Amino acid sequence: MVDGLLVFLQGPVRHIKAILVEFWKINKSTTIGAPRSALRRAPTFRSAPEKMLKQCPIMCSTLRWNLEDEIMSGSLSQPLRRKVRHVNPRTVGHLGNGRLLSLVLPPERRGPLKLLCLGAHADDIEIGCGGTVLRLAAEVSDLIVRWIVFSAAGRREAEARNSAVAFLENISEKQIEILGFRDGYFPFQGTDIKDCFEGVKRDFDPSMVLTHWQGDAHQDHRLLAELTHNTFRDHFVLEYEIPKYDGDLGNPAFFVPLTRAQVERKVETISRYFTSQRGRSWFSDETFLAMARLRGIGCNAPEGLAEAFYARKIVF
């Protein structure tokens, strides 16, 4: 049961209204807001506070919502089933015109949103979730960021720091740490890295953690993913993906739509600062744009671009 969750529903007003009715029936204590157009045209929901919509006009994620499963399983009421009966049962996650339901950040947060970004190597955070960081920076006014890169030797240290500064340039409260663990040997430095996590936990309680995917083929990435969940056990953790030679991409289910400007800024910043990586065959603008485009397709993003994450646990 979530109180104060703001749900944006995109689609024909009649569908929005029908779905709001269903939400309301399931949990009357949940505060439900509707798009301004739906509020105007569906008087029943005028009580959804416009003020709340103004306070939280952003969507931080897209939840794939398989409405067809709901229809097939009979968990929706007969009137709603009638309203969406024209939906093709073979389309997954689509409602009527092909839009997905989206979740937003809670409208009434207590204090600032504290974001913890964790990356094993110099460019991991930027590649995996740089666009999401740019979007949060643009849409959340009181954002505090702690950004930790665990391994960046030689010229990569300066690259990592300069890139982090560029990605976080519009955020006033930030802490960037570039550590010196040995690249490729994280599993054998586990005690020291674990101590580092415990130190972070003592003085930073994040609202959101962006870290590596636990199924990543790189041993350093996997160790950070494991220690993230080990350390931040009741936190909101999203695991980003890194394309690589090993071919370990999977099917993440948590999507963050991005604007073209955000993706272009991400790619340009990575390209500008990580000059030591230019010789690598996979390290190219095309790789990062292709990833964003594919993930944008996966969530029907408005501008066709997105980043995607794995989530071990999300509470609705």
Contact positions vs Zn ion (CB under 5 A): 120-121, 124
Q: How far is the CB of 132 from Zn ion (least distance, A)?
A: 17
Report the residue number, 120 or 258, with the smaller CB distance to Zn ion.
Answer: 120
Closest distance between Zn ion and the C-beta of residue 276, in Å? 13
Return the number of the residue (150 or 254) whose C-beta is nearest Zn ion: 150
Choose between 130 and 296: whose C-beta lies nearer to Zn ion.
130
How far apart are CB 242 and Zn ion at their closest, in Å? 6
Q: How far is the CB of 243 from Zn ion (least distance, A)?
A: 11
Looking at beta carbons only, is 15 or 121 nearer to Zn ion?
121
Residue closer to Zn ion, measured from CB, 37 or 219: 219
CA–CA gap between residue 245 and residue 285 (Å, rounded): 16
Q: Which is nearer to Zn ion, 121 or 161 (CB)?
A: 121
Which of 113, 107, 128, 112 has the alpha carbon at shortest distance from 50? 107
Which residue is at the shortest CB distance from Zn ion?
121
User: CB of residue 221 vs Zn ion: minimum separation in angstroms?
Assistant: 6
CB-CB contact of 9 with 19 (8 Å)? yes
CB of 24 or CB of 282, closer to Zn ion: 282
In angstroms, give the least distance from the CB of 136 to Zn ion. Answer: 22
